[in-house]
């Protein structure tokens, strides 16, 4: 089946992150098994979602080393979006294929699956692997489960291409995303008796201002990276809740902020000063009125940045295969940082544009799919030994 037909099939499975992805995973697993391969799944805790991993062994049967093609199977919701056509039915119109997930990122997965026969008929010097995850769109929750299972099985792929939409350009680095939650526990009182209460909203506000000042300092650091659109690490408060009535001093306020860090910076760079401000400044002031008052501060999501510094070999290989070998760095995060943290050299390169992702009428240009097909064909061929003898080619079947 070709890439376009695979993409139509994949879009037909509604794999919005809140739903199970198992129907799609089992469909792909059946295809891989029919091709004589031995895919394995790594499920989430409650068993309603799974990662899929499969190895196409090298010509000598080896399953170690090699390149991983990585994609996430989940898609963002279509709720509240105004689509011109049914989002889970692929629709081709004027050189574009429309559907939820067409560009982010079932297009890449479709191209990889369509290339499977080429992978199996090539005399691979090193194995190729396909890694499909769940729950990428809600904080990259699936990939770490797969990577843990990979380590448990003793598999050690050396390189990874994450096929998020880059217009088939080579993205070598992205920022990390770390989200934090602050729960301010104050003390209620009638709003006419302010000295008897501890106003949780007002303490939350002090902390938000402090975080905003910290953001200003990040912007003034000397070690900015101009290759990013926004060349510094950022902090942004996005959600706040607190209070029940205007005449009650609120005893509870919760807010969340995200920290998007340059690859050389860590979450501790902001978490430590924030924690110190809470412990040394805010809590003592709150506890002067009531010793039970406090602020809980904890991290939610932890998606590490991808740092392009250590993957020169992979960059050199990919540079030969893409039309535009210029390296870029992007603001959005991917599972790439998690693969890198697992010791796998990783870059991002996939069909479609991030500008079409997550929107109503998401689409991918058919020309982008064709470029991805071409890229994968060349990549598979560059794996071939110089003096390939087709007659001696053997496939490793389990
Ligand atoms: Zn994506």
DSSP structure string for 48-71: S-EEEEEEE--TT---SS-EEEEE
Angstrom distances, CA of residue 41 to CA of 137, 142, 150, 310: 19, 11, 10, 29
The β-bridge partners of 68 are 129, 160
pLDDT at 316: 87
pLDDT at 309: 79
Query: Which tokens go with 153?
Result: 């099985």
Angstrom distances, CA of residue 85 to CA of 3, 16, 38, 90, 352: 21, 17, 37, 9, 19
CATH architecture of the domain formed by 3-174+305-392 = 3-Layer(aba) Sandwich (3.40)
What spacing in Å lies between the alpha carbon of 1 and ligand 1's midpoint?
23
pTM: 0.87
Query: Which tokens go with 299?
Result: 């991290």
What spacing in Å lies between the alpha carbon of 219 and ligand 1's midpoint?
27
What spacing in Å lies between the alpha carbon of 363 and ligand 1's midpoint?
13
Under DSSP, the state recorded for 339 is: H
pLDDT at 198: 98
What spacing in Å lies between the alpha carbon of 287 and ligand 1's midpoint?
45
What spacing in Å lies between the alpha carbon of 385 and ligand 1's midpoint?
33
What spacing in Å lies between the alpha carbon of 321 and ligand 1's midpoint?
22
Please tell us whether the domain made up of 176-303 is placed in CATH 3.40.50.300: no
DSSP calls for 101-137: TIIIIIHHHHHHHHTHHHHHHS--SS-EEEEEES--T
Going across the sheet that includes 363-365, the strands are 91-93, 96-98, 363-365
Q: Is the peptide bond before 210 cis (omega within 30 degrees of 0)?
A: no
Which residues are CB-contacts of 286 (< 8 A; sequence separation ≥ 6)? Answer: 186, 198, 203, 293, 294, 295
The β-bridge partners of 93 are 96
Report the chain's C-alpha Rg in angstroms. Answer: 24
Surrounding ion ligand 1 within 5 Å at CB are: 104-105, 164
Helix (H, G, I), strand (E, B) or coil at 289: coil
What spacing in Å lies between the alpha carbon of 397 and ligand 1's midpoint?
32
What spacing in Å lies between the alpha carbon of 366 and ligand 1's midpoint?
18
Tell me the average confidence (pLDDT) per consecutive run of 10 residues in the chain, 398 residues long.
Answer: 98 97 98 98 98 96 96 96 96 97 98 97 95 96 97 95 96 95 98 96 98 97 92 96 97 97 95 98 98 97 89 87 84 93 95 94 98 96 50 38
Query: Which tokens go with 384?
Result: 């071939």
Domain with CATH 3.30.70.360 in the chain: 176-303
**Residue 312 contacts residue 159 (beta carbons within 8 Å):** no
pLDDT at 398: 38
Residues with catalytic roles: 74, 136
d(CA 162, CA 155): 18
- The predicted-structure confidence for 339-353, as pLDDT tens digits, reads as follows 999 999 999 999 999
Query: Which tokens go with 195?
Result: 């000295």
Name the strand (E) or helix (H) holding 314.
helix 312-319
pLDDT at 385: 39
What spacing in Å lies between the alpha carbon of 382 and ligand 1's midpoint?
27
Which residues are CB-contacts of 135 (< 8 A; sequence separation ≥ 6)? Answer: 17, 44, 49, 72, 74, 141, 142
pLDDT at 313: 85
Paired sense of beta strands 327-330 and 91-93, if any? unpaired
Q: Report long-range pairs for 319-325 (Cβ below 8 Å, ≥24 apart).
A: 319/170, 320/378, 320/382, 321/375, 321/378, 321/379, 321/382, 322/168, 322/169, 322/170, 322/349, 322/375, 323/168, 323/371, 324/168, 324/169, 325/170
Region for 316 from its dihedrals, namely left if φ exceeds 0, alpha if ψ lies in -120 to 50, beta otherwise:
alpha
d(CA 190, CA 249): 6
What spacing in Å lies between the alpha carbon of 72 and ligand 1's midpoint?
7
Which residues are CB-contacts of 255 (< 8 A; sequence separation ≥ 6)? Answer: 181, 182, 204, 207, 208, 237, 239, 240, 241, 242
d(CA 332, CA 305): 10
Domain with CATH 3.40.630.10 in the chain: 3-174+305-392
């Amino acid at each position: 089946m070709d890439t376009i037909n695979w993409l139509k099939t994949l879009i037909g499975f509604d794999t919005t992150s809140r739903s199970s992805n198992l129907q799609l995973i089992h469909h792909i697993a059946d295809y891989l098994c029919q091709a004589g391969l031995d895919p394995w799944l790594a499920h989430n805790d409650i068993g309603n979602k799974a990662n899929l991993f499969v190895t196409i062994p090298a010509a000598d049967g080896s399953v170690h080393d090699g390149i991983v093609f990585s994609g996430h199977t989940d898609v963002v919701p279509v709720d509240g979006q105004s689509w011109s056509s049914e989002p889970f039915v692929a629709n081709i119109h004027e050189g574009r294929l429309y559907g939820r997930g067409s560009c982010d990122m079932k297009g890449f997965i479709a191209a990889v699956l369509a290339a499977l026969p080429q992978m199996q008929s090539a005399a691979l010097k090193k194995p190729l692997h396909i890694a499909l995850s769940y729950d990428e769109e809600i904080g990259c929750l699936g990939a770490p489960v797969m990577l843990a299972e990979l380590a448990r099985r003793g598999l050690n792929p050396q390189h990874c291409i994450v096929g998020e939409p880059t217009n088939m350009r080579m993205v070598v680095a992205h920022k990390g995303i770390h989200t934090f939650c602050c729960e301010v526990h104050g003390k209620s009182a009638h709003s006419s008796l302010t000295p008897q209460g501890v106003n949780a909203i007002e303490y939350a506000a002090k902390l938000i201002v402090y975080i905003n000042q910290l953001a200003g300092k990040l912007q003034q650091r000397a070690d900015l990276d101009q290759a990013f659109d926004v060349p510094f690490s950022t902090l942004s408060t996005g959600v706040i809740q607190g209070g029940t009535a205007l005449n009650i001093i609120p005893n509870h306020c919760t807010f969340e902020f995200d920290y998007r860090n340059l690859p050389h910076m860590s979450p501790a760079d902001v978490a430590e000063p924030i924690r110190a401000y809470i412990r040394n400044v805010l809590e003592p002031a709150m506890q002067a009125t009531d010793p039970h008052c406090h602020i809980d501060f904890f991290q939610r999501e932890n998606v590490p940045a991808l740092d392009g510094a250590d993957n020169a070999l992979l960059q050199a290989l990919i540079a030969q295969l893409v039309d535009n070998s210029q390296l870029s760095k992007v603001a959005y995060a991917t599972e790439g940082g998690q693969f890198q943290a697992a010791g796998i050299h990783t870059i991002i390169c996939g069909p479609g544009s991030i500008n079409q992702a997550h929107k109503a009428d998401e689409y991918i240009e058919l020309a982008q799919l064709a470029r991805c097909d071409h890229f994968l064909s060349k990549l598979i061929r560059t794996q071939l030994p110089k003096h390939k003898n087709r007659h001696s080619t053997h496939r490793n079947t389990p």
